[in-house]
Amino acid sequence: MAEDTAAKLYQAFVSEDPSSAISVIEKVKASGVAQADLFDQLFAPAMSMLGGAWASGAIDEYAFTQAAVVAEQIASFVTPPSTAQDTGVTVLVGAMHKDYHAISKNVIGAALKEAGHRVIDLGVDVRPAEFLERLEETGSRIVIVTAEPVGAAHAAVRVREALAAAGHENVVILVAGGPFAADSALAKEVGANGVIHGAESALRLVDRVAQDILEEGSE
Amino acid sequence: MADRSQQLALAEGLARQGHVQPAVEACYQALRIDEGETLTHCLLADLMLSGDFYDEAITSASRAIEIDPTCSPAYLALGLAYDRRGGGWDQSILVWHELAEVEPELVTAHVQLGEAFSSAAFDEEAIDAWRRALELDPTEARAMYNLAVAALKREGMSTALPGFRKAGELDPSQDDLFFVLAGVEDDGNPAPSPTDVAEDRSSRLEAAGALAYEEDFFAAADLIRLVLDEDAEDAEALGLAAYLYLKQEAVNEAMACSMRALSISTRTPTAVYSLGVSFAKRSGLSKSAARVFAALAKAVPKHPMPHVLYAESLLGLQRYSQAAAAYKLALELDSACVRARFGLAAVLLTEGRHAEATWEIRRAAYHDTRRQGLFWELYDSYAEGRS
């Protein structure tokens, strides 16, 4: 990024002119700089100039503060987006029938949502029929079933049965919870396609499944 | 002190100096002389607790309370012993509740009560207790950490993270890192008056650091101005200026000063710190914050806080296992680092390891309460009130 562009942004700051600042940013974007790079390539050098001007006394304390206000006003134009882009992947998340533990479900659901997935949270104590009903409503092809009590974990097989009976054999079921972590064979027993060991593992697995579904669709 | 036996006085003296074993022996001597002395039982409970003899601590503290149900230091020792031993959350709730009744203004009692409620899965009651603690003291970092963990359980990391950062700002250990980086040490002497500072760069910078330590930000800023008037490219002065702006919530000014400092010299740790903290305050800049704190952790590997700050920025990037590794590194450097324990607990929760998370929070709570020196505060005040 040419230094003069950063200087123009700096000038807009000290002139207390947010519209000029925005037009500088827009011009830089139009020249092909990605949104994710604007902060480092444009905003940071302009801020450094601002700091230098204050340090040398070229601008006084008041002007420094006012310039910082303009920087604040336009920060959203140069900051990488804090939320991920919509992936278009819908994921159903729910705790199995007779399981009232919500923490794993909440944490996994929130992480997936933050990563840009469309998460439908079915809550706790979810019956297999509810998983099926919401799956048909949303067209989702990924279901995450959490279960902390052993009985609820074994009952997850009923979700697979309900989906298969309605002709949704290809839906991917991922399971999470203590019993699945403790017994690696249990997931297979209940017809799950994979075991989630926490939020990071959920992100990885859902990404992989979504990729597989996409590839399947393009074939 | 007049109504205390010589043996008890000896035990107290030894305990205050950290000589646990002889202090315990002196306590037993004192009890042989007077078995009904509350203070001796209470002191013995704290000594047992410090030696990790939880059952003995529970017995002694319970006896003190039996003799005098208003003995607040005994409740503290009893509550901590139950918490450390684990498995008795009903008793723990009762004890912390009693302490909060006996000492209603004691913030830690409410924080501990909340933690006991939370361990017993009474989440609403726990949140109420932490809110009460924050009403009493809005700068109570541990209550804020706990509320952040509660938010994580309900709504996930992105909701919880600002709470962790807020708690981190309230936690004095983050400022301690800055002053370590700036080479400012608390020598027990007050900061000089700006008018008495010699007119050279080094004296001015040193005095500005001392004034910043005492939170006299305006006087510190005046001295920094004088340094910069002589040399506008003084990176260290700019690093300190950035910190002063940060403390006044002026994030963009802090960013401008730290960026300028780093453009002059990349080897300005105070500016690296301020830049990282400025980034961490902006949503969307977690990646930049992680990059900066990774550099800081590399530059200051023996201090736990850069690893904690790095870990927190990784949480914002959903890189939980890397965050756990950074927290563990911080805990290897300081096992009593409350912020790292809460952070690690948060990561463990994201991995579904709830019991381990609870254990980490319990350890954080124990270290925090012990660090405050609360036992002696309550002990002295109880003894004074009795005489």
Q: Which residues pair with B175 in a beta bridge?
A: none
Asked: is A90-218 a CATH 3.40.50.280 domain? The reply is: yes
Residue A177 near residue B352, CB atoms below 8 Å: yes
Asked: is B285-360 a CATH 1.25.40.10 domain? The reply is: yes
User: Mind listing the pLDDT tens digit for each residue in B332-385?
Assistant: 999 989 999 999 999 999 999 988 998 899 889 888 888 888 999 999 999 988
Dist CA B308 CA B169 (whole Å): 13
Q: What are phi and psi of A90, to 5 degrees?
A: -100, 130
> Of chain B residues 279-338, which have a CB less than 8 A from chain A?
282-285, 287-288, 318-321
Name which CATH class applies to B171-282.
Answer: mainly alpha
Per cent of chain A over pLDDT 70 is 97
Dist CA A129 CA B30 (whole Å): 70
Q: Does the beta-carbon distance from B250 to A65 stay under 8 Å?
A: yes
Most B CBs within 10 Å, among A148, A200, A204, to test the B interface: A200
| H-helix or E-strand spanning residue A119 | strand A118-126
State the pLDDT at residue A1.
55
Per cent of chain B over pLDDT 70 is 99
Q: In chain A, what residues touch B233 (CB-CB under 8 Å)?
A: 55
State the pLDDT at residue B89.
84
User: Mind listing the pLDDT tens digit for each residue in A116-147?
Assistant: 999 999 999 999 999 999 999 999 999 999 99
Structure tokens at A141: 């092809």
Q: In chain B, what residues touch A79 (CB-CB under 8 Å)?
A: 282-285
Nearest-neighbour CA in chain A from B257: distance (Å): 5
State the pLDDT at residue B2.
44
Cα→Cα distances A64→A11, A68, B24, Å: 12, 6, 62
Q: What radius of gyration do chain B's Cα atoms show? A: 23
Close Cβ partners of B8 (under 8 Å, ≥ 6 residues apart): B26, B27, B30, B37, B39, B40, B43
* Domain spans, chain B: 1-85, 87-157, 171-282, 285-360
State the pLDDT at residue A2.
63
Q: What CATH code is assigned to B87-157?
A: 1.25.40.10
Residue A108 has pLDDT above 90, yes or no: yes
State the pLDDT at residue B195.
87
Residue B262 near residue B272, CB atoms below 8 Å: yes
Residue B361 near residue B115, CB atoms below 8 Å: yes
Q: Does B167 touch chain A (CB under 8 A)?
A: no
Q: In chain A, what residues touch B319 (CB-CB under 8 Å)?
A: 200
Q: Which residue has the higher pLDDT, A216 or B250?
A: B250
Strands ordered across the beta sheet of A90-96 = A118-126, A90-96, A142-146, A172-176, A194-196
State the pLDDT at residue B212.
95
State the pLDDT at residue B113.
95
Same fold, B1-85 and B87-157: yes
* Residue A132: closest CA among A98, A179, A182, A97: A97
Q: Which residues in chain B land under pLDDT 70?
A: 1-4, 387
State the pLDDT at residue B379.
95
Would you put residue B32 in left (φ > 0), alpha (ψ -120 to 50) or beta? Answer: alpha
Residue A128, Cβ density class (10 Å: 0-12 exposed, 13-18 middle, ≥19 buried): buried
Of B159, B234, B257, the CB nearest to A51: B257
Would you state the CATH architecture of domain B1-85? Alpha Horseshoe (1.25)
Cα→Cα distances B150→B131, B143, B344, Å: 12, 10, 14
State the pLDDT at residue B8.
92
State the pLDDT at residue B362.
87
Angle between helices B72-85 and B54-67 (to 10 degrees): 150
3-state secondary structure of B183: coil
Nearest-neighbour CA in chain B from A101: distance (Å): 10
Residue B24, Cβ density class (10 Å: 0-12 exposed, 13-18 middle, ≥19 buried): buried
pLDDT bracket for residue A24 (50, 70, 90): very high
Q: In chain B, what residues touch A49 (CB-CB under 8 Å)?
A: 260
Dist CA B320 CA B357 (whole Å): 14
pLDDT bracket for residue A218 (50, 70, 90): low
Long-range Cβ contact pairs of B118-125 (< 8 A, separation 24 or more) = B118/B146, B118/B149, B118/B150, B118/B361, B119/B89, B119/B92, B119/B358, B119/B362, B120/B89, B120/B90, B120/B93, B122/B93, B123/B150, B123/B153
Average pLDDT of the residues of chain A: 93
State the pLDDT at residue A84.
80
pLDDT bracket for residue A219 (50, 70, 90): low
Question: CATH 1.10.1240 occupies which residues in chain A?
Answer: 3-78
State the pLDDT at residue B1.
45
Dist CA B315 CA B164 (whole Å): 10
Spell out the SS3 assignment of A39-100.
HHHHHHHHHHHHHHHHHHCCCCHHHHHHHHHHHHHHHHHHCCCCCCCCCCCEEEEEEECCCC
Q: What CATH code is assigned to A3-78?
A: 1.10.1240
